[in-house]
Structure 1
Amino acid sequence: MPALEPNPTGGQRTLLRILGVMLAVSVVIGVIATFAAGN
């Protein structure tokens, strides 16, 4: 089954949203850590 579908089912959409949020949080933490280390 494809990783990304044009119209994913509810379960796939929820999983994709969770993964997106986790990725966003990781990026934000990384940026904050970079600025903290830079200062």
Structure 2
Amino acid sequence: MPVLEPNPPRPQRRLLIIFGVMMAVPAFVAVVATIAARMG
């Protein structure tokens, strides 16, 4: 049984979104910090 199904049920999709946000926020902060460091 695959862990990630093509059409995941509600709780799994919500968990996937939370995991995606947890990955995206630090990356976004790093990009903003890099741009700020180059401008400053």
After TM superposition, is the score higher than 0.5? Answer: yes
5+ long unaligned stretches in structure 2: none
Moved over 4 A (4+): none
Is structure 2 residue 5 aligned with structure 1 residue 5? yes
TM-score of the superposed pair, with normalisation by structure 2: 0.68
Structure 2 residue aligned with 1:36: 36
TM-score of the superposed pair, with normalisation by structure 1: 0.69
| Bigger Rg, structure 1 or 2 | 2
CA RMSD of aligned residues (A): 1.5
Percentage identity across paired residues of the two chains:
56
5+ long unaligned stretches in structure 1: none
